[in-house]
Structure 1
Amino acid sequence: MTADLQNSRHQLGRLVGVNKRENYYELHYATGEIARVYLIANGIFRYWLDPSQEFAETDDMLVHGIQPDPQCFARATAHATSDMFIINAGSCKLIFQQKTSLFSIFDEAVHRTRLAQAAPLELSGKHAIEVLKQNQNEYYYGGGVQNGHFCHKGDKLLVKTDGITGKDGVLAGVPFFWTNAGFGELRNTKSKGIYDFSASHGQAALLRHRSPVFDAFYIIGNSPQEILNKYYSLTGKPLMLPKYALGLGHLGNFIDPIWTAAKGKKHDAIRFEDNSYYSRGDADGKELTYHASLNGEDKYQFSARAMIDRYHRWDFPLDWLIPNYEAKQEADHDSYAAFASYAKEQGVHPGFWTEDDLTPPNHSESLAIDNPEADLNEARENLVKENPKQKPLVLVRDSLRPFQSEAVLAYGDIGGDWTAIKTQVATLLGAGLSGLPFLGAAVNGKIGGDNAQMAIRDLEWKVFTPLLFVMDDQSRFSKTPFAYNNKISKIMQAYLRLRKRLLPYLYNLARQAQDGESLVRPLFMEFPHEQICYGSSFGDEFMLGPQILVAPIVSGKADSQGVSVRDHIYLPDKQTIWIDLFTGERLMGGRVYNRRKYPLWQLPVFVRGGSIFDLGDRNFVFYPQGDSTYVSYNDDDLQDYRHNWATTTIRTHLAESSLKIIIEPTTGYYPDLAIKQGATLKVFCDHHPEEIHLSVDGESSKLEEYGTPETLARAKEGYYYDNKFSWTPEFTDLGAGPRKALIIKLAERDIKQSKIELSISNFHFANEQLVHQITDAALRLPGRFELDSSKTSAHSLTVKWNQRTPMVQIEVNGLLYTGIPGNIFTFTDLAANKDYKLRLRYESGYKVSEWSDFIQAKTKRDPSDYIITGVKAAASAASRPGHPVKYLLDKREATDWQTAQTPTAEEPVTLTFAFPQQVELSKLIYVPRALDKEGRPLKMRVEVSTDGLTFNPYGGDYEFNADCKNKVIGLRGVSAQAIRLSVLEATGTGLGASSINFYRPIQN
């Protein structure tokens, strides 16, 4: 009977008995299963049901050797009632229903249920399925590197690794998720899974893995940071990066490429030091060709050494370089050693790319591994042998398990694509929420990317991400930051210098990542009380740590002068002032800003009021607001950093017109720490203060003021009021305006003994911005505020009104949108099939009118709801490897179908689509590949079958333009069992498509 149940699909039977063993509780069920419950630690519980009843650790397990805390088990109590068995562990009650076998966790500390199963476990010889109840305001996160997604509420995610870099691909599937209800779950299996968070099951989450064993760790925590920190106790804390890994990196191939003299300035030609143009690729036998090399064995300018020289010549910082990235030929180790020695002489850290050999060549300081099954721990150990004191750095492009303690993830996507920016922002957010804080996407992608505007916009926002690098030599176009004209190079140079200034801040965040604080964070991690931040409404912006908000330019939308226009920027918290990093403009929090204009050099970056930045060497920048605390961190940047580190706490208190700054004594020590140090404080302010008093260890004195920066520089201690200050001076020439600030210089003191207090009177900054807008009766009531229903779509609503002031404010479901000009506006990125409630008021400075009456609106259903599912596809031509025909129907943007056969009228490529039953159709949409111009359909024939065997022509031949726009064919009134498409002509060679979907008629 038990063997039959192990192989048959059935629900877990009622709980019939419980035994207390040496360090676990043993649960017996009527269907023959036995489960064990371990109390791993405070707030971490393991439920392990093994149908074989062997309870042995296997290779399928994700984590091994997890031992329960004997003290937790000893302190726990258990009792049974008439209908349940309860384990009391700390504040948590683990409740097992007897009749239903349902499991739940109730937390007495917060007086609510953290998680509850909605149905008994479903088991079979192949799968183990759990169904959890889902609350209305519950949001789900995790799953690993799920490209383009970070919030999974209402979605289905695949827990696997497919190596696909674009949207909906999975570079690292992790069987771990958590919710804002305060619990996380780690399924202890390497098997593939599907997590359906109410995408098709109403108010329930269905969690399936292809494993007969149900082994789950349940984690209880009051914050994302606490949940992630407990998750790390099971899977390993994130590694601590070497400082150079936070600088600019270059992954290139100086082994395989052949450079050919270009005929004139071709679109993809690159100008080299000899003032001639060259292109990658084979020659036709007439042009001169040169081979790339590590040290210039053929021609120096095509070598890895020359690339280092190039960065330095153009005054671009370069911190690390991997010279054989994705090389097909093996790199000669002696040549590599010579290159690596040269790189180190130039201050560049050399790395090495490999697929299988995890032993680094001499002088290599990092390994880039292109094998998701590689033993990353072995690679790290080998790097340590080569560099005993340095922190090892391993890079991967995908992974089959959590990699945070062993490696960082660096991948390349399509360059020159606006949608890739939104996808990558969400990817980085989701990875951090999955416990994978260190990853990055190549600037301007790995392939494609010949758009200068896109290249610079992509670099701008990636300066504020954990890893910053380019992947060169994988595309026809150069990806280096100096590949374009001097104007663009100057902008990129400014951002890279800003990155250098932010390295102490980034390194501090890297240390905090070990405690569950991701570097790139969604807004809700800093503003947990704002529910609007939990979903994906503002998934195209992020916090870099607690102090910087970045809203990347995510579209080519521009005004008549070509200046980028950014809508939909949400700055959280009504009590926070946000300061534009480059211009100093101040904006009130708690509202959405629209029609913001940003010239090419300016990225929407906002500093949170109250922020304190450590620029290194006790050089601090202050944006005072209220009470703030910042803990500066540094260490020896070696493997022994856990024993050699130091922190300094800086606090500010601004009340009315008095500012106090406190620098606490430094704690900790590392060998290069200078005990005697001065300090420089740069404090933004609006007016000249009255006076500044300095107190050191209780002894007070008045700071002397100096009239020029030069005199202050010669003084031992004092301050200067600067009307033209900027801590990002490289942007001044680009258009950033100078601001007012106090420059305070403090003398050298013993930093481990001295407590420094500064008191500044008559101080003013930013707080004046926190004023309520005044309702002015002189502003007339809004007139004719209405919905333009003809423009309503699944994700947008358009409203219009009588214009009486240049700007208006519109409230949408309680959220205030401001900066809206004219008399018509379209809200985009809305949820499909959702009700919205809107009202409008006029705005004039700090005065506003009364609100209009509310209008009601509802977005349409998502077009994808009408896609016919269960379709099977077959093609007459063989697919290219990695691009099967099934990708046409998988609803993932990143996948596509390709065939090498080029269609002709005499020998067309046919695609046959069979429906599950005869269906009514409205249209088909053929989505061409967007990456290149190859294989786009130009002429197509459609045939319809009502029996799946006999096909009849539908209309004449359809002709299309050679662009990447969707090809739509109307099928209204058609009833079919199958459809056959015959492509008679296509662009370039081969044929391909991102997707082909069939739609049923829209139902009103």
Structure 2
Amino acid sequence: MKEESTINKNDQNQVIDFSNLKLQAITNVTKQSGYFEINYQNGLTARLYILDATTFRLYIDPTQKFQEPEQSEAGLHAQIFVKDIYDSCGMNGASIRVTNTGWQIDTGIIKINLNKNSATLGVTKNGKTIFQEAKSVELTNSLTVQTLVDCNSNYFGGGTQNGRFTLAGEKVEIVNTNNWVDHGVASPNPFYWSTAGYGVIRNTFKPGHYDFDSASNNKITTAHEEKRFDAVYFFADSAYELLSAYHQLTGQPALTPIFGFYEAHLNAYNRDYWVEVNSKEKGAIKYPDGKYYREYQPKDLPAELKPKSIRETLNGEHGGVSYQFSARAMLDQYLEHDMPIGWFLPNDGYGAGYGQTDTLAGNLKNLAEFVKYANSKGVQVGLWTQQNLAPVDPENPKPDDRDFEKELVAGVTALKTDEAWVGHGYSFGLNATQSTAKMIAKIKGDQLRPFIITVDGWAGTQNTSTVWTGDEFGGEWEYIRFQIPTYIGEGLSGQPNVASDMDGIFGGQNPIVNTRDYQWKAFTPIQLNMDGWGKNPKNPFAFGGITTKLNRAYLKQKSMLLPYVYSIAAQATFTSKPMVRAMFLQYPNVPEFYTNLVRYQYLWGDNFLVAPIYQNTTSDEKGNDVRNEIYLPDKKQIWIDYFTGQEYQGGQVINNFAAPLWKLPVFVKAGAIIPVAPATNTPQEYLNLKKMRQFVIYPSGTSNFNVYEDDGFSAQYKQDRYVQTKISSSLRGSNLTIKINKAQGTYAKFDPEKTTELSIKTNKVPRTIAVLIGNKEVHLTEAENLADFQKHDNCYYFDQHYLTNPYLAEFNSNLEQTFLRIKLQPTNVCQNEITVEITGSASTAVPVNELPLKNEALIVPANLTQNDQKTTSNSITVSWQPVPGCDSYQLKIDGLLYSNIEKTAFTFNNLKPDTTHTFQVREIKELTASSWGAKIICKTKKTVNSKKK
């Protein structure tokens, strides 16, 4: 049955047929108060709101009510936009004129062209068309579709699209599929942007379907399951500007508190029962008392075992053996194992509250006691919720009710919304996080910033919440593989705060995968140990031995980099630069960086490049492996192996990079300035270090970095209560100047009296070191050894045994690097800048992969051919004849250099079907190269594999 709506237009009643309503010719466009009105031949009317000179909203509503989008259910008030999209402030600067084809609205920066006959809309900027409808918007009784001309651009966004970061050539669902595997969707976002220079947010809470596969018809389509069309468009010249425009419309990303960057432990400590069993029984877990126990949920516990069982608690109030099954005991274990931990969630939403009394008040008291204990250890407490945030009957609360406002009073500082908030329509989950943020403001004012984890995001979620990628299986390489591009895509969707489960919530039992997951996630925002559902306990010390030591080393690594991490988190909040950063954001002129060729590597802020181990390439039984296809950008840039100090020349793709089990491939840019801190186990330990500043500097050219700090906990940063310090480095020849500007700003309890320590990478003892603190010259003394250096101020030490991570020293004896270390007296950093002048210290970089000299005497490898049997729809395999005595080979693929290829065959992966690519090969011997062989053209197959990778 067709749906009908009666509207009044020009005093005539017309019936609109929704079954297939393609916009007909435009009859008129007029400027009204607050918007431009667009009239169509079939009686429809649209409104076009100019929000500013680069942003407009188009709303086509056959009902003519022009209301806010429909919420998921009654009583919800979720808001996508923080900016008033009915605001007409941009109207005064906009003009309209009649053209040969229709009408043109000029905002002063963009021109919006409305075609009379085709009823289509296009946008030009600086004389170039950057947005163009291929046909008019279509409205039916179930779907509203916009079809655009593909301007030969790349597309990004869509929210949590597992396994994807680029959307070009993809069909994606803006639907929560609750399918947390490759190509599953957890937190969709009806927002995408194009490298042509525009972004779009559909103002709706209805499911969507976006098709960016334009290969056959040069068109893309976006559709939502509704009868209205409502979208906001914005235009900018760069990716960062487009992401910033998205945040201006939907809200800045919330700044994660300091404790959120330490890993969290999550489990239910108020529900299950434990029974002593023998070590070989299924599910047996060894506990600190040396005995083995099996866990039972209440519904699964056999009646005959109940008298022997021990129930979990938060506080272990029964003492004795039962204490080891408490939340307190687990927190104790982290600290006893010397493991960093920042926050703890002791309940979940599946029948486990936080107390075993007969009143909600009694249970809240139990919660408060656990909070007090955790806080005494320097750790914060959060809660899960699968229920309402307040009792259904506030006057008569039940023991298992939730009252988030009273939980805040008890000391809770974080919330994870769970399954009850995963609702259809997407205003449901967004309403939950926004309501939570309002409750926090009501109870805590600006003393506590919202820290909320959600699995049901939508446009605007980033303003109040971190996005969790969903329940996933650990113990498998696939779990790591598809998460890397997922994290990159989150940042490109305006959601920089991303979290996932360490080694998954389910599965496990693979210590190598466990270690590799802890490694790469030390260079990501938020780490969650979701315990209680896997094949083994989900904590960093579950496997013991080498696995525990390496997990500790990388958790400590993150704590040592926390000043840097917090600074790039502030960048994500204030300047829309994601923490996990797509390569093209820093290197926009490299075409390959927009493609899947770099889906398994990323930049961690400004200065680190991370290439996780995501598969078994040539691993031995101990997990020692190599990493191939690491794209190091910019042939003028030196990249430094963070752990060994080895230097690599950019502008190449390196292969066979040694990655023994202890080692994550991490590179730091020459020129980088990295604020660091001593290793800590809790956020309170870190906050107690505020009297010192430490910077690690890798001199090269001219560079700078802005260090950000605030109280790490409150929402006062939103009122500009923070401190920023710019530090710069300038290397000219062998002369190095380091300047630390005066700190700008303040916040509650900020103490400007700080010591300053510099660690400067060099391999030469300097001739001279001159230091100015303010206008006063400071004399430095040379320390005899490291211990002497650590005892005194105003001293320097040429450290030939410097370790970027001392917790890895036992795994490799060649991690010592050479750094000049300088330590300066306390000074008021707001009143005094610091200048350090060093002469004779710098040295020329010696990259291990420097471009070889040409050697005509070397043999050009023969018979470079495509192996058709091994070529697929997304890969090409080539091979060539071996050259006796050759050190390695280099390939030039589509003009890009691939180096350190040891075999006589190479597979080029992550390609699109039915695409052509060029290959050349040459021999490398003793840092010289043969001439390039003849160029061959290869092609991927047309057939797309059913299982995408």
Provide the TM-score with structure 2 as the length reference: 0.87
Give a deviation string over 1:209-262, Cα, whole Å, max 9, x none: 112211111111122221111112221111122111111101111123222323
What fraction of aligned residue pairs are identical, expressed as a percent? 29
Deviations 1:12-45 (CA, angstroms, capped at 9, x unpaired): 1222112111221111121222111111123111
Instruction: Say whether residues 1:785 and 2:860 are aligned partners.
Output: no
Could you say which residue in structure 2 is the equivalent of 1:292? 312
1:537 correspondence with 2:597 = yes
The one of 396, 406, 411 equivalent to 2:454 is: 396
Moved more, 675-684 or 825-834: 825-834
Question: Aligned partners of 1:607 and 1:408: how far apart in 2?
Answer: 27
1:660 aligned to which of 710, 732, 737: 737
C-alpha change, 1:765 and 1:42, in structure 2 (3 Å) is farther
2:881 aligned residue (801, 817, 824): 801
* Change in CA separation of 1:588 and 1:40 when aligned onto 2, cut-off 3 Å: same
CA displacement at 1:280 relative to structure 2: 2.2
- 2:585 matched residue in structure 1: 525
Aligned to 1:369: 417
The answer (yes or no) to whether the contact 1:27–1:34 under 8 Å persists in 2 is yes
The whole-number CA distance in structure 2 between the counterparts of 1:842 and 1:84 is: 62
2:104 to 65, 83, 86: 86
| Equivalent residue in structure 2 for 1:7, among 14, 18, 39 | 18
Q: 1:966-1000: per-residue Cα shift (whole Å, max 9, x none)? A: xxxxxxxxxxxxxxxxxxxxxxxxxxxxxxxxxxx
Change beyond 3 A, Cα 1:55–1:384: closer
**Structure 1 CA distance for aligned equivalents of residues 69 and 195 of structure 2:** 32
Instruction: Tell me if 1:432 matches 2:491.
Output: yes
Aligned to 1:997: none
Which letter does structure 2 place at the counterpart of 1:459?
Answer: Y
Q: CA deviation at 1:696?
A: 4.1
Would the alpha carbon gap of residues 619 and 65 (structure 1) be closer, same or farther in structure 2, given more than 3 Å must change? closer
Q: 1:351 and 1:622, CA in 2 relative to 1: closer, same or farther beyond 3 A?
A: same
Seen in structure 2, the aligned counterparts of structure 1 residues 716 and 310 have a Cα distance that, compared at 3 Å, is closer
Structure 1 residues 152, 303: closer, same or farther in 2, change over 3 A?
same
Please point out which of 46, 54, 61 is paired with 2:57: 46
1:561 to 1:350, Cα distance in 2 relative to 1, 3 A: closer
Instruction: Find the counterpart in structure 2 of residue 744 from structure 1.
Output: 822
Instruction: Report Cα offsets for 1:53-76 as digits up to 9, x if no partner.
Output: 222334358448724565532122
For residues 295-341 of structure 1, what are the alpha-carbon distances to aligned partners after superposition, in whole Å with 9 as ceiling and x for unaligned?
22551111111101111111112111111124324432233232222
Asked if the contact 1:169–1:892 (Cα under 8 Å) also holds between the matched residues in 2, the reply is no
Residue 807 of structure 2 is aligned to residue 730 of structure 1: yes
Deviation at 1:385, TM superposition (A): 4.5
Rate the CA distance shift 1:574–1:753 in 2: closer, same or farther, 3 A.
same
Matches within 5 A, 1:190-339: 190-198=205-213, 202-266=217-281, 268-281=283-296, 285=304, 288-297=308-317, 299-332=322-355, 333=363, 334-339=365-370
Classify the secondary structure of the residue corresponding to 2:838. strand
- Checking the alignment, whether the CA contact within 8 Å between 1:835 and 1:857 is kept in structure 2 is yes
**Mapping 1:308-707, distance limit 5 Å:** 308-332=331-355, 333=363, 334-358=365-389, 359-360=403-404, 361=407, 362-370=410-418, 371-372=421-422, 373-374=428-429, 375-388=432-445, 389-410=447-468, 411-514=470-573, 515-560=575-620, 562=622, 563-616=624-677, 617-637=692-712, 638-641=714-717, 642-697=719-774, 703-707=780-784
Conservation of the 8 A alpha-carbon contact between 2:922 and 2:929:
yes
Q: What is the Cα deviation at residue 755 of structure 1?
A: 2.3
1:853 Cα deviation from its structure 2 partner? 0.4
Question: Residue 127 of structure 1 corresponds to which residue in structure 2?
Answer: 143
Structure 1 SS opposite 2:176: coil
Residue identity opposite 2:165 in structure 1: F
Q: State whether residues 694 and 701 of structure 1, in contact with CA within 8 Å, keep that contact through their aligned partners in structure 2.
A: yes
- Structure showing greater relative contact order (alpha-carbon pairs closer than 8 Å, 6 or more residues apart): 2
Measured in 2, the distance between the counterparts of 1:476 and 1:775 equals 56
Equivalent-residue separation in structure 2 for 1:709 and 1:459 (angstroms): 31
Partner of 1:353, secondary structure, is: strand
Task: Please give the alpha-carbon distance, in whole angstroms, between the structure 1 residues aligned to 2:484 and 2:898.
Answer: 23
**Partner amino acid, structure 2, of 1:369:** T
Q: Aligned equivalents of 1:187 and 1:241: distance in 2?
A: 27
**1:656 & 1:325 partners in 2: Cα distance?**
59
Counterpart in the other structure of 1:96: 114
Decide whether the 8 Å contact of 1:553 with 1:566 is kept in 2: yes
Secondary structure of 2:479's counterpart equals helix
Give matches, 1:723-872, under 5 Å: 723-735=800-812, 737-765=815-843, 767-769=845-847, 772-796=851-875, 797-804=877-884, 805-864=886-945
Letter in 2 for 1:532: E
User: In 2, distance between residues paired with 1:146 and 1:501?
Assistant: 31
Determine helix, strand or coil for the equivalent of 1:280.
strand
The unaligned stretches of length 5 or more in structure 2 are 1-5, 8-13, 72-78, 356-362, 390-402, 423-427, 678-691
Alpha-carbon deviation of 1:708?
A: 2.4
Specify the code of the residue in structure 1 equivalent to 2:61. Answer: D
Letter in 2 for 1:530: V
- For 1:626, give the aligned amino acid: G
CA offset at residue 608 of structure 1?
Answer: 1.6
Distance 1:756 1:210, change over 3 A: same
Taking a change above 3 Å as real, the CA distance of residues 212 and 162 of structure 1, as seen in their structure-2 partners, is: same
1 CA distance for matches of 2:64 and 2:844?
65
Q: Tell me how far 1:593 sits from its aligned partner.
A: 1.4
- Going from structure 1 to structure 2, the CA distance change for 1:297 and 1:708 (only over 3 Å counts) comes to closer
- The equivalent residue for 1:957 is none
Once the two structures are superposed, what CA deviation does each residue of 1:63-93 show, in whole Å capped at 9, x if it has no partner? Answer: 4872456553212222112213111112211
Match of 2:162 in 1: 147
Q: Any idea what SS the aligned residue of 1:802 has?
A: coil
Contact 2:269 2:354 in 1 (8 A): no
- 1:819-858 CA-to-partner distances (Å, cap 9, x unmatched) read 1113233333333222121110111243111000012221
| RMSD (Å), alpha carbons | 2.3
CA deviation digits over 1:538-578, x for unaligned, max 9?
Answer: 11111111111111111122355741121121111212111
- Provide the rounded CA distance (Å) in 2 between the counterparts of 1:27 and 1:863: 43
**Closer, same or farther: CA 846–6 of 1 in aligned 2, 3 Å:** farther
**C-alpha distance in 2, partners of 1:265/1:695?**
67
Secondary structure of the structure 2 residue equivalent to 1:72: coil
Return the TM-score normalized by structure 1: 0.83
Q: What secondary structure, in the 3-state scheme, does the structure 2 residue paired with 1:618 have?
A: strand
Segment drifting more, 695-704 vs 320-329? 695-704
Contact 1:808 1:818 in 2 (8 A): yes
Local SS of the residue matching 1:578: strand
Structure 2 contact 701–730 (Cα < 8 Å) conserved:
yes
Aligned mates of 1:310, 1:715 — CA distance in 2: 36
Which amino acid is 2:124 matched to? F
Q: CA deviation at 1:627?
A: 1.4
